[in-house]
Structure 1
Amino acid sequence: MPRGSAGRWLFWLGFYGAILSGWAGLMQMTASPLPGLTAAEYWDALCISAENADPVALFAMWGLMSAAMMLPTFVPAVRVFGELGSARASDGASMAALVSGYGAVWLVFSALAAALQLGLAKAGAMTGVGQSLSPSVSVGLLATAGAYQFSTVKEACLSKCRHPLMFFMQHWAPGLTPAFAMGARLGLWCVGCCWLLMLLGLIGGAMNLLWMGAATLFMVLEKLPEIGRYLTKPLGAALVIGAVAQLVTVFSSGG
């Protein structure tokens, strides 16, 4: 096996291992280690105690979510990078640098999401596990995420994510540092595409495995050109309808 091929093989082994580790970590975090407590109750106690919060625990939670949910959406771009690398003297180390740049951007997002969850929890609008207690937060997030699906910003971000070959042809440069920079730029486009979809977890609970699995599948499919174009706007319409329905429920219940 050529040396470059061996490096790419090792890279893919580590890449998919990181995804599996992310999901394994999330599954472990959703299982309460204390008898008599549900996972939600355990995380509530851990993340938001009487007057204290643990920002490290929240950051770890969001970091694992980002790794488990967003790395699968990056597979097409990494494959294109690897194929181009075969002809442009790139190797597994460059592919790892690309993913590192991408992951670094999502770690920044994780820190911001953890800070948002922490602030809302301390304000009494959210539980420690990221479940909204405020109808206005839920309605606002649903409506904003739905409207964003129709925006030109969303379309521009999706365009970069759906056509990585064009991105690499425009920004390609050999070496680890350029690979990291390209990964970070793609990470920024990806955050621009998916940040509100990720934050939707704050409505039903950020540690809800069913939501995480469904959201991951949707975001993977949305980035595929032939499939995603049929999904983006219908989801936006569904989210706006959900916001209206929740608003009607709030008014009808007098809350």
Structure 2
Amino acid sequence: MGEASTEKPAGTASLPAPLRRERAIILMLLLVLAAVSWLVLLRWRPGVGGEEMMGPTMGLGPLLFLAVWGVMMIAMMFPTAAPMILMFTRVQAAKRKQGQTFVPTWVFVAGYLIIWIAFGILIYGVALAAERAMQGSAWLSMNAARAGGALIVAAGLYQLSPLKRSCLAHCRTPLHFVLTRWRDGYQGALEMGLRHGLYCLGCCWLLFAILLPLGLMNVGLMALITLLIFAEKSLPISPHARVAAAAALIAYGAIVLVFPGALPTAMAM
């Protein structure tokens, strides 16, 4: 990616009332989009109506799977990414007020979503490969739940890893990200969105991967993961939430390794 701008971004001071209203509108749009996405997920339950829908891909083709994945990302990640998106909006609003070239917020958000959609493509590929492997091997089919347990344990261990802590540090400090990673122009805004999306992915990728064995459309679990990500990124209890989640995931994953029937989707594997 290109060199960071050496000019300190405008907008780190207090904004006048019109620009504060603009930030409020952006926040409202983010929350409305997230709320609508949650309603879609609650009303559209592909797991109902056939065991074939209970596998990792839910019986969906790639385009429909990615559409569902995109709705999930808007529902789960927009609220947790709001502080960074609002910081970007604040800087760009101040640049516009000063008569400088500015970039609309959607460009930054597009970069962020590109990362998560790309991860969705990877998730679909893994899910499809897992389904085909289980269909072709009785041993894999019998031990699929234990593999899911191992993945859950791995997610718990990752919560304690240096990489998780490093990515989380970037996600918890939007102002520091703006001051150290700022890039001007449309391309720069897209690059910033991609970079922040990578940090966010580094924080959360295994929390989303465990949806494969636990049920991709498990709305209750999605809500719990969203609350955990919000606590990790935005609340003072972040270290405690991260460690508590690690302990819970490791303990539950170990139980599944010993008692595979403890996995909700075990009967469908």
Same fold (TM over 0.5): yes
Residue 225 of structure 1 and its aligned partner are, at CA, apart by: 5.0
| Partner residue in 1 for 2:37 | 22
Alignment of 1:77 onto 2:84: yes
Q: Distance in 1 between matches of 2:32 and 2:50?
A: 27
Contact 1:30 1:39 in 2 (8 A): no
> Could you say if the C-alpha distance between residues 224 and 41 of structure 1 is closer, same or farther in structure 2, counting changes exceeding 3 Å?
same
* Alignment-mate amino acid for residue 69 of structure 1: M
Higher relative contact order (CA 8 A, sep 6+): 2
Q: Distance in 2 between matches of 1:229 and 1:215?
A: 15
| Partner residue in 2 for 1:243 | 253
| Partner residue in 1 for 2:206 | 196
> Could you say if the C-alpha distance between residues 80 and 185 of structure 1 is closer, same or farther in structure 2, counting changes exceeding 3 Å?
same
* Alignment-mate amino acid for residue 187 of structure 2: T
* Alignment-mate amino acid for residue 30 of structure 1: R
Paired residue secondary structure (1:206)? coil
Residue 147 of structure 1 and its aligned partner are, at CA, apart by: 0.7
> Could you say if the C-alpha distance between residues 104 and 250 of structure 1 is closer, same or farther in structure 2, counting changes exceeding 3 Å?
closer
Contact 1:66 1:110 in 2 (8 A): no
Further displaced range: 53-62 or 180-189: 53-62
> Could you say if the C-alpha distance between residues 39 and 211 of structure 1 is closer, same or farther in structure 2, counting changes exceeding 3 Å?
farther
Percent identity, aligned pairs only? Answer: 29
Residue 15 of structure 1 and its aligned partner are, at CA, apart by: 2.6
Contact 1:19 1:67 in 2 (8 A): yes
Contact 2:95 2:102 in 1 (8 A): no
Q: Distance in 2 between matches of 1:159 and 1:65?
A: 24
Paired residue secondary structure (1:30)? coil
Contact 2:92 2:102 in 1 (8 A): no
Residue 236 of structure 1 and its aligned partner are, at CA, apart by: 0.9
Residue 123 of structure 1 and its aligned partner are, at CA, apart by: 2.1
Query: Out of 46, 61, 70, which is 1:63 matched to?
Result: 70
| Partner residue in 1 for 2:9 | none
How is 1:127-146 mapped onto 2 (pairs within 5 angstroms)? 134-146=144-156
Paired residue secondary structure (2:240)? coil
| Partner residue in 2 for 1:35 | none
| Partner residue in 1 for 2:170 | 160
Residue 88 of structure 1 and its aligned partner are, at CA, apart by: 3.3
Residue 203 of structure 1 and its aligned partner are, at CA, apart by: 2.3
Q: Please give the per-residue CA displacement for 1:72-128, whole angstroms capped at 9, x wherever unaligned.
A: 110111122233334333899522211111111111111111111121122228xxx
* Alignment-mate amino acid for residue 64 of structure 1: V
Q: Please give the per-residue CA displacement for 1:30-72, whole angstroms capped at 9, x wherever unaligned.
A: 167xxxxx25647349x566xxx62222222222211211111
Q: Distance in 2 between matches of 1:95 and 1:11?
A: 9
* Alignment-mate amino acid for residue 18 of structure 1: L
| Partner residue in 2 for 1:129 | none
> Could you say if the C-alpha distance between residues 61 and 206 of structure 1 is closer, same or farther in structure 2, counting changes exceeding 3 Å?
same
Contact 1:7 1:92 in 2 (8 A): no
Paired residue secondary structure (1:123)? helix
Residue 171 of structure 1 and its aligned partner are, at CA, apart by: 1.6
| Partner residue in 2 for 1:88 | 95
**What TM-score, normalized by structure 2, do the two folds share?**
0.76
* Structure 2: gaps of 5 or more residues: 1-15, 136-141, 262-269
Q: Distance in 2 between matches of 1:9 and 1:231?
A: 28
Q: Distance in 1 between matches of 2:44 and 2:102?
A: 31
Alignment of 1:122 onto 2:132: yes
Paired residue secondary structure (2:150)? helix
* Alignment-mate amino acid for residue 19 of structure 1: A
Further displaced range: 11-20 or 178-187: 11-20
> Could you say if the C-alpha distance between residues 66 and 92 of structure 1 is closer, same or farther in structure 2, counting changes exceeding 3 Å?
farther
Query: Out of 222, 226, 232, which is 2:236 matched to?
Result: 226
